[in-house]
Amino acid sequence: MSPDLIDSSLLDIGLALSQKKVSSVELTQMALARASANASLNAFISLDADASLAQARQADARIAKGEAGPLTGIPIAHKDIYTTRAFRSTAGSRMLLDYVSPFDATVVEKLGFGPLQSDGEGAGMVTLGKANCDEFAMGSSNENSYFGPVCNPWDEKAVPGGTSGGSAAIVAARIAPCATGTDTGGSIRQPAAFCGVTGVKPTYGRVSRYGMIAFASSLDQGGPIAKSAEDCALLLNAMAGFDERDSTSVERVSEDFTAAMALPLDGLVIGLPRQYFGQGVAPGVERAVRAALSEYEKLGARLVDIDLPHTELSIPAYYVIAPAEASSNLSRFDGVRYGHRSADFNDLASLYSRTRAEGFGWEVKRRILIGTYVLSRGYYDAYYLKAQRIRRLIANDFQRALGACDVIMAPVAPTVAWDIGEKSHDPVASYLADIFTLSVSLAGLPGLSIPCGFGEKARPVGLQLIGNYFSEAKLLGIAHQFQLATDWHQRAPKGRS
């Protein structure tokens, strides 16, 4: 991005494009240069300047014809869990090392130039490249990628959060103004918090999963990552919508997610879950979150205590349900149809086993084994069905709580980002970092993370906002009012702006 546009909003960048102050080709060239300058972050898996600049020229042609929308010509990075025709789609795995999809994911189509079935042309954004991610979106730190860990722009010794860590790092480092992510158990909200940017996990079914390489089909949901809530609202306007190709897509009337940006917060009731504060939360994280809550009180909101009694059960429930679905979804990678194939096999059984042993990383293998176990005869009732019953209890907790407040607020994670390698040999410790995000995913509710300060080691802290089903516009408006009153979302890592 050019020096005067690095920290600009998507609206301002779009205005500069429409007024011919800058072209999409120039913006894309600048973004590619910043990607090269920040190569130490390892935030990209695939970059292709020719493909990106071809899209930029297409965007400039659309602008010249007066056919541009608010996002046309703006560079965006896509998490490498979305399939793309112009770039390889690896899911961060050796299994798909050289895979190039014959089609674009619906999210890529909607944001870009792909052919849409019923919605007309896409928004005309330029794909800058594919963002590094945990292998098949499994992890909490972005250390599980076949292509190596992503570094946090605020401190390259730290993780950026997972699994959309590449996307969050790209936005935080001001390489691109926005990126896509996916959230299965917190994988948009946690990296957004760790990297000091804004990220939205929509209601399950709000954004099409077609073309999203599946991890856990009842949990995976795509969403935007950007600097501000207003930017995320603009992106969600383009991303959301019914897709007949996705059986989990929800058919609803189109909605403008910027509609609630100007709503005042007088009388807003904020619920604070007792289970999200106190023991286990780092002092620096709690201080930053409490300060943000005080700011909301100054804006006219009222704080009330609420209970989410089954929160502690979200980790065991999630780590039964998600691996079970992963073991089913990843069975398609067998060396027969596409992806990696072992060169050393004697028969079909050895082809399967050796291909999967070579193609999958340790975390993916661990989750496949867990999932296969809990789905096996004799254990399905004891584990999988019981976890689904707990999931219903968690969803009921949220409904009771949201009957007593307008929005729930809490930390995104109990700590700031940890150092790369710190938890590599203790997967359970890594899993525990998701305690405040998993229950939202299990319930299928919308949630978002906004920057609210800094904690230990001067690393970013995120405030989590949780609302009822399909309340994204309301949540984004509440976040926007906070961002009008503070500047946490405008702060960039030293040397990146």
Beta bridge partner(s), residue 464: 410, 449
State the residue for tokens 């072992």.
342
Burial of 299 (0-12, 13-18, 19+ CB in 10 A): middle
Which of 47, 26, 224 shows the shortest CA–CA distance to 129? Answer: 47
Residue 383 lies in a domain: no
Phi, psi of 179, rounded to the nearest 5 degrees: -155, 165
Task: Supply the pLDDT for residue 353.
Answer: 95
Rounded CA-CA distance 126/54 in Å is 9
Rounded CA-CA distance 165/45 in Å is 12
Task: Supply the pLDDT for residue 115.
Answer: 65
Residue 116, domain extent: 10-239
Residue 104 lies in a domain: yes
Residue 101 lies in a domain: yes
- Number of compact structural domains in the chain: 1
Task: Supply the pLDDT for residue 118.
Answer: 41
Contact of 239 with 348, CB cutoff 8 Å: no
Residue 66 lies in a domain: yes
Residue 196 lies in a domain: yes
Cα–Cα distance list, 67 to 26, 57, 154, 345 (Å): 19, 14, 39, 55
Residue 167 lies in a domain: yes
- Provide the CATH number for the domain around residue 67: 3.90.1300.10
Cβ neighbors of 404 (< 8 A, separation 6 or more) are: 269, 271, 304, 306
- Taking only the tens of pLDDT, the chain with its 497 residues reads 555 688 899 999 999 999 999 999 999 999 999 999 999 999 999 999 999 999 999 999 999 999 999 999 999 999 999 999 999 999 999 999 999 999 999 999 999 987 654 445 899 999 999 999 999 999 999 999 999 999 999 999 999 999 999 999 999 999 999 999 999 999 999 999 999 999 999 999 999 999 999 999 999 999 999 999 999 999 999 999 999 999 999 999 989 999 999 999 999 999 999 999 988 999 999 999 999 999 999 999 999 999 999 999 999 999 999 999 999 999 999 999 889 999 999 999 999 999 999 999 999 999 999 999 999 988 999 999 999 999 999 999 999 999 999 999 999 999 999 999 999 888 888 888 999 999 999 999 999 999 999 999 999 999 999 999 999 999 999 999 999 999 999 999 988 76
Which of 248, 309, 315 shows the shortest CA–CA distance to 273? Answer: 309
On whether the pTM is more than 0.85, the answer is yes
Which of 132, 131, 5 shows the shortest CA–CA distance to 74? Answer: 5
Contact of 206 with 107, CB cutoff 8 Å: no
Cα–Cα distance list, 441 to 107, 187, 194, 346, 377 (Å): 20, 10, 19, 42, 27
Contact of 321 with 388, CB cutoff 8 Å: yes
Which of 160, 105, 157 shows the shortest CA–CA distance to 132? Answer: 160
Residue 485 lies in a domain: no
Which of 237, 234, 187 shows the shortest CA–CA distance to 207? Answer: 237
Return the half-sphere exposure (C-beta side, CA atoms, 13 A cut-off) of residue 489. Answer: 27
Residue 61 lies in a domain: yes
Q: Which two tokens stand for residue 381?
A: 């009732």
